């Protein structure tokens, strides 16, 4: 989305996620004149963990998107991409997703909970193993 729209949303504030490693999490590159949509995009993209940690926001958003996909095959492909992204962001090995052998920190537990929600809510039981295999292939 950013690659396609960054210079069309706000010409004066086009560096929505162009952060350097030396910038703090709260550092911004946008000006006070930035539009509300630019500020919200910057906030969401630069604070993804806060968004994911708030199940009041992420679960309804994911549900809305998943429900809008009409084709079961396309929905399954989307879920594979979603779970791949969540496992990479949370640094979670999907092979160990349901084991207690590796204790998860609080952030990893948050990502794990959303992955489990997606699997339990949207992936048919007979497809779970193949979905997790594809996620594992995507992350290794």
Number of CB atoms found within 10 A of residue 38's CB: 20
**Hunting for tokens 């990893």 — which residue is that?**
108
The candidate with the shortest Cα–Cα distance to 110, out of 90, 128, 93, is 90
115 pLDDT tier (thresholds 50, 70, 90): very high
Residues 6+ apart with CB under 8 A from 47: 25
Q: Are residues 66 and 124 in the same domain?
A: yes
Q: Are residues 77 and 103 in the same domain?
A: yes
Choose between 38 and 60: higher pLDDT. 60
Domain that holds residue 29: 2-46
Q: Are residues 16 and 79 in the same domain?
A: no
38 pLDDT tier (thresholds 50, 70, 90): confident
The mean pLDDT value for 39-49 works out to 80
Residue 126 φ/ψ region, left for φ over 0, alpha for ψ in the -120 to 50 degree band, beta for the rest: alpha
- Tell me whether residue 89 is exposed, middle or buried, using C-beta atoms within 10 angstroms of its C-beta: 0 to 12, 13 to 18, 19 or more: middle
Q: Looking at the 3D structure of the chain, how many domains does it have?
A: 2
Q: Are residues 21 and 66 in the same domain?
A: no
d(CA 136, CA 140): 6
Q: Which pTM does this prediction carry? A: 0.74
Q: Are residues 41 and 67 in the same domain?
A: no
- pLDDT tens per residue, range 49-67: 888 999 899 999 999 999 9
């Amino acid at each position: 989305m950013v690659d396609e729209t960054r210079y069309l949303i706000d010409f004066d504030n086009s560096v929505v996620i162009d952060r350097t490693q030396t910038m703090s999490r709260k550092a911004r590159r946008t000006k006070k004149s930035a539009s509300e949509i630019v500020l919200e995009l910057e906030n969401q993209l630069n604070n993804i963990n806060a968004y994911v940690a708030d199940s009041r926001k992420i679960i309804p958003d994911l549900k809305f998107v998943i429900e809008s996909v009409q084709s079961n095959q396309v929905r399954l492909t989307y879920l594979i991409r979603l779970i791949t992204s969540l496992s990479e962001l949370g640094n979670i090995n999907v092979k160990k997703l349901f084991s207690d052998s590796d204790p998860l920190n609080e952030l990893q537990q948050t990502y794990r909970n959303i992955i489990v929600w997606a699997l339990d809510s949207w992936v048919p039981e007979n497809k779970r193993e193949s979905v997790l295999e594809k996620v594992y292939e995507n992350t290794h």
